[in-house]
Chain A
């Protein structure tokens, strides 16, 4: 027991986020400001003021958590409101609302030394402006907002109008790299992608400004050779174990391409570009006495024996905080959640909020593929062990026993080849000696294994939120018919925007000896009788993207 305690103490001391938590006083009351954003992110509408405010948030939150933003209904991250309540309730934060940009500048212009002007007709200038903002303590303004900034005593620091007119993205970021990269963080980089066209959602920019990161939206698509080459330069110059925050650019390249590229350098991906408030969240540890306690349903050394029936288990692996968690119905059936392990470092309160509000049917699992989102078939061998050690340590802190893997490098979105090579599977079994099992995929996949009583099971089904529930029912019943041996282990991925109540209705209409079980029970049962094949990625399986 002492050895276990010592081991846990070592893990805790190794985690900066937890050190902050331990050092945190018993949550004395503190004041902070909150702004409530609407949903207008149009370049020609609400974006310029929001871009200013988000950058200002990064500056204001440099030395203390002073400004928090609650986003409108329909925003990708639906937890900003509940998390505000959590801060008030558990950390004694007394929020005062600021209603206008004018008010926000009135309070926080003191943390800026000036302003930098970006050009809405050359959108990469917004990213360059954010890079400058972090380095020079500037707010980012469009020409129309210059009078507003100057009313608050801010002076021009730089003006990007005209500097990059007519240049390609690769040319713009090459110049920006020459000017600013040496002074930026080499542990973290911001990929401020996401929407194209007339909308941008740079909600993560506060974090990039606070941490003095370089901002870009370069493409990882091989057809954009200049951009790809430049991005490779950045990745090769990041410190080992570095993290890319943000998201790829929709329409310019794909999630699969970008995550493959990042993984190839052994770097970590933390999405999305719309992830808000990290500059605020990173400054709160766990509340005194808090300890992660997962809702395990079976002890690690317990052996279960599967009966001749169909065992279903459901997993929601998209970024927790997007979608289902705050919707009605959660808790009505056992559902596993892929918590974002990296938030231990930069958003501990959010993880505590999820654990605090979990029902007995909510079960947390580790992932995704590593300490953050990565494609393991492409992680360099000399980085794999270190990354997975980091993931394994985080799982112990979070009291997680099942690890989720996803490699869509050869897939076509949520379709196609999501399988792991045998070499990759070998590495996982070696790197996680204590987990109860692994799951794999996003869409369906066919990598399966069972070693030392620890299964690796891929998803047999993916519930598209738009698919009519009667067809989902028919699909699941068909899988049950096609897989006629009993027991049958049917692992289902629930896309984040699904409604749990409707999944319950589907389950009620399934035929045969069906039982929905928590994932840890599912793994123990799957270990007791292997009715599934052992299979890995076959070199002859089709690959949608063949890599770099």
Chain B
């Protein structure tokens, strides 16, 4: 009886964790479909490579602007908030909004919708012409039916218009094409 109760307790404890684990199909390289997305400004193309491993999720962005290539990596953790210096988002680079030097964004990550959506919430320190300020950024990476498409919806506390980016999955072998 004790063993049954113990097993039941274990199931009850682990069930929430299992329920919120991310769907592994989110792993891989996703390429921005610029024709269906919010217009880029200051970027020509965008890829994001997602690698979930336990509670840690790595993001690697490969961005281009004409012949310039920019690569940025950062990780979040669903088990605990993390501090990320120069938190990367697909920003509008023709705005005088810069990463605040020597500061880091506080970022939390949560799997929701049965692990089909990863939610990030970040307090991003920025520098503008009036000095230092903070932008609250809310992102959802939503896996779409069929798992071939990923939609990133981003909200800012300072912007009433959402940013919507449609990505399609590409094999690493074809990534350079």
Contacts and interface: CB of A to CB of B under 8 A. Distances in A.
B159 A446 contact: no
Contacts of B93: 415, 443
Contacts of B133: 482-484
Given A470-B161, A474-B160, A479 B128 contact: yes
A478 interface: yes
Contacts of A460: 95-96, 128-129
Interface residues of B, number: 29
Interface string A436-472: 0000000111101000000000111111101110110
A95 interface: no
Nearest to B94: A462
Contact of B156 (A464, A478, A485, A540): A478
Contacts of A483: 128-130, 133
A412 B93 CA distance: 11
Nearest to A540: B101
B158 interface: yes
Given A446-B127, A446-B129, A533-B130, A479 B38 contact: no
Given A471-B161, A474-B159, A415 B129 contact: no
Contacts of B92: 471, 475
Contacts of A484: 130, 133
B135 interface: yes
A210 B129 CA distance: 48
Contacts, number: 89
A415 B42 contact: yes
B95 A461 contact: yes
B158 A532 contact: no
Contact of A533 (B94, B129, B159): B129
Interface string A403-420: 000000000111100000
B152 interface: no
A310 to B, nearest CB: 11
Nearest to A544: B68
Contact of B65 (A415, A445, A459, A538): A415
B126 interface: yes
Nearest to B129: A532
Q: Which of A446, A463, A479, A484 has the most CB of B within 10 A?
A: A479
Contacts of A470: 161
A462 B97 CA distance: 12
A479 B115 CA distance: 35
A538 B128 CA distance: 15
A538 B127 CA distance: 13
B96 A446 contact: yes
Contacts of B160: 474, 477
Nearest to B43: A415
A481 interface: yes
B133 to A, nearest CB: 6
A464 B92 CA distance: 11
A446 B130 CA distance: 10
A461 B130 contact: no
B96 to A, nearest CB: 4
Nearest to A495: B94
Contacts of A448: 129
A461 B96 contact: yes
A329 B157 CA distance: 34
A443 B94 CA distance: 6
B54 to A, nearest CB: 34
B66 interface: yes
B68 A461 contact: no
Contacts of B97: 479, 482
Interface in B158-175: 158-161
A531 interface: yes
B41 A467 contact: yes
Contacts of A466: 39
Interface of A: 412-415, 443-446, 448, 458-464, 466-468, 470-471, 474-475, 477-479, 481-485, 488-489, 531-533, 538, 540, 544
Interface of B: 38-39, 41-42, 65-66, 68, 92-98, 101, 126-131, 133, 135, 156-161
29 contacts: A413-B66, A415-B94, A443-B93, A444-B94, A444-B95, A446-B96, A446-B127, A448-B129, A460-B95, A460-B129, A461-B94, A464-B41, A464-B94, A467-B41, A468-B39, A471-B39, A471-B161, A475-B92, A477-B159, A478-B156, A478-B159, A481-B157, A482-B128, A482-B135, A483-B129, A483-B133, A533-B129, A533-B131, A538-B101
4 closest A-B pairs by beta carbon, nearest first, are A444-B96, A481-B158, A474-B161, A462-B94
Given A471-B92, A478-B95, 5 more contacts: A412-B65, A445-B96, A467-B39, A485-B130, A532-B129
